[in-house]
Amino acid sequence: MAGAGERKGKKDDNGIGTAIDFVLSNARLVLGVGGAAMLGIATLAVKRMYDRAISAPSSPTHLSNSGKRSWEEPNWLGSSSRLLSPDMKSNVSRSLQTLPTDPSAFETDAFQPSKAKTSAKRSQVELKKSRLRMSLQEKLFAYYRRKAAIPAEEQAQARQAAVDICAELRGFLHAKLPDMPLRDMYLSGSLCDDLQVVSADHIQLIVPLVLEQNLLSCIPGEDTIMNIPGFCLVRRENPEYFPRGSSYWDRCVVGGYLSPKAVADAFEKVMAGSINWPAIGTLLDYVIRPAAPPEALVLEVQYERDRHLLIDFLPSVTLGDTVLVAKPHRFAQYDNLWRLSLRPAETARLRALDQCDSGCRSLCLKILKAVCKLNPALGHLTASQLTNVILHLVQEEPYWSQDVLADRFLQALRGLIGYLEAGVLPSVLYPKANLFSELTPEEVDELGYTLYSSLSEPEVLLQT
C-alpha cells in the first residue's frame, strides 16, 4: 500500500511540474497575444501553481466539494514537506526573470524599440486620418455638385416667375383694396440669397403692413405668461384716446392684441375669393392656384412642365427696430404670437464672413441643408437652425477655406448633436431664443440618434 501511495504522489508531482513548465515556457507566446491582461493572469497562475506544488497535502482525500482541487486559496488541514525539484525551481525563476516589465512591450509589435514603434504608430494613425479626411472632402464636393447645387438657369426662371406674380398681385391689391395700408411687397428667402439647395422650389413674398406706431407696441415673448423668446405679442395701445376703428388693422385685433392669424385670414379671403388666378396664369403662361389649408397663404406655381414653385405670402410688421412676420408657431396654442424676423440679419452676417475667403461657410451650410432635405429622418431641422449652427461654429473656428471643408462639416455635425443633447440651440442674434422650442422631445431624440449614428461613417448621410 505504501508503494502505491508513493507512485500516486509521484504522478501528481509530474502533472504539476508539466503544467508549470508548459505555462512558463509559453509565457512569451501568451504575452504576445494577450498583452498586459494575460501577463497578470499568467503570473497569478504560476504563483498559485507554485504554492500548490510546495504545500499540497500528501493525501489525495483533501479535495474540494466538487471532487477537484480548487484554484481558490485553500485552508489546508495538513502540510507536506515535498518541494519543487531543483530543475522546476530553476525554470520558474528563469521564466519570471524574463517576463517583460515595460508596458510598451505589450503593444502589437513587442520587439521594436518602444519610441520608434510609438512614433510609427502615431504616424500611421495621422496618415489614416488624413486619408479619411481627404476621402470625405472629395465626397462632400461631389455631393454638392450632384445633389445640392441648383443650375443657374433654373434659379433664374424660378425668380422670374415669382417677380411676375408679385407684380400682378401688387397691382390687384392697389386697385381693389386702395384703403389697405401696405408698403411695397418684395421677395425674400434662400432663393434670393443663393442659399437654396436641391431645387428652386420655394420663395417668400413679404407683405409689409403700415401700422400707427402710437396705437401698437411690441411685447417680447419672454415677458409674457407664455414665456417664448423669439416671438412677440403686438398690443393695441391707448384705446381710451383712439377707440376701435381708428386704425384699418383694428379689424384684426383679438383680445387687445393684433392677431397674425386674423391678418392671415384677411389676406386669405382676398387671395382665394377675389383674385382670378386662372386668368393671371394664362396671362403669364403659368399655372397658379392657392394651396389648400393648412397652407392657406401659399401659392402653387407651375412655371415649366416639370418645375414647381411655392410662394409663401408673408405679412410683416415693423415696430421701431423690431421686424415681425406672421409665420405661425408650430403649436396651435401660440397662434396669437408674431415671429421675430432674424433670417435677413443672419444671412447678412454669413455673407459678410464669406467675403473674406472662398465662401466655405455657405458651402458647408448648403451641404447640411441638402442632407436634411433629402433625408426624411432629418426633415424637422430648419434652415434657420442649420444657419445658426454654422454661425456658432464660426465663433469657435475663425479659419475657413475649402481645404478644411471636411473638418468643418464634421464639427458642425458634432455641434448640432451637442445642441440636440442639451435640447437648446440659442439664436446667435437673439440668445434668449431657443431654436428647438418648436420640436417635441421625441423629435429631438430621433434627430440626435440619427446624427450620432452617422458620426462613425458620415458618408452615409451623403447617400440619400
The residues facing 304 across adjacent strands are 307
What's residue 89's pLDDT? 40
> Quick one: three-class SS letters along 19-31?
HHHHHHHCHHHHH
Instruction: Provide CB contacts within 8 A for 412, sequence distance 6+.
Output: 364, 368, 389, 390, 393
Q: Check: CB of residue 74 under 8 Å from CB of residue 57.
A: no
Question: Please, what is the average pLDDT of the chain?
Answer: 80
Nearest CA-CA partner of 277 in 304, 315, 311:
311
Model pTM score: 0.71
Q: State the pLDDT confidence band at 66, using cuts at 50, 70 and 90.
A: very low
Predicted confidence (pLDDT) per residue in 257-285, tens digit:
999 999 999 998 888 778 889 999 999 99
Return the pLDDT at 225: 92
Burial class (CB in 10 A: 0-12, 13-18, 19+), 398: exposed
- Rounded to an integer, what distance in angstroms lies between the CA atom of residue 88 and that of residue 375? 69
Q: What are φ and ψ of residue 457, in 5° steps?
A: -145, 75
* pLDDT bracket for residue 10 (50, 70, 90): very low
Percentage of the residues of the chain whose pLDDT score is greater than 90:
56
Place of cell 440636440: 420
Average pLDDT for residues 206-233, to the nearest whole number? 94
Is the pLDDT reported for residue 415 higher than 80? yes
What's the pLDDT score for residue 70? 35
3-class DSSP state of 269:
helix
Close Cβ partners of 11 (under 8 Å, ≥ 6 residues apart): none
Residue 357 has a pLDDT of 78
Say if residues 303 and 194 touch (Cβ distance below 8 Å).
no
The answer to whether 203 touches 189, Cβ cutoff 8 Å, is yes
CA 15 to chain centroid: 62
pLDDT of 409 higher than 70: yes
When pLDDT is averaged across residues 327-346 and rounded to a whole number, the result is: 93
Which three cell numbers, joined as nine digits, stand for 119? 512614433
pLDDT band at 398 (very low <50, low <70, confident <90, very high): confident
Phi-psi region of 245 (alpha: psi -120 to 50; beta: other; left: phi over 0): left
Res 65 pLDDT > 50? no
**CA–CA distance, 191 with 60 (Å, rounded to integer):** 90
Q: Is 339 exposed, middle or buried (0-12, 13-18, 19+ CB in 10 A)?
A: buried
Cβ proximity of 397 and 364 under 8 Å: no
Report whether pLDDT(426) > 90: yes
Grid coordinates of 68: 477537484
In angstroms, rounded to a whole number, what is the distance separating the alpha carbons of residues 28 and 12?
26
Distances (CA, A) of 99 to 107, 112, 115: 15, 16, 20
Is the pLDDT score of 327 beyond 60? yes
| Biggest distance spanned by C-alpha atoms of the chain | 127
Would you state the pLDDT for residue 21? 56
Residue 232 phi, psi dihedral angles, 5° rounding: -145, 155
| Range of lowest pLDDT (92-101, 146-155, 165-174) | 92-101
d(CA 170, CA 186): 10
HEC per residue, 22-71: HHHHCHHHHHHHHCHHHHHHHHHHHHHHHHHHHHCCCCCCCCCCCCCCCC
Residue 319 pairs with which residues in a beta bridge? 322
* CB half-sphere exposure, 295, CA atoms < 13 A: 10
Instruction: Give CA–CA dist 350/371, Å, rounded.
Output: 20
The yes-or-no verdict on residue 372 having pLDDT over 60 is yes
Whether 149 contacts 155, CB under 8 Å? no
- All three cell numbers of 236, joined, read 393695441
pLDDT tier, 43 (very low <50, low <70, confident <90, very high otherwise)? low
203 has pLDDT over 60: yes
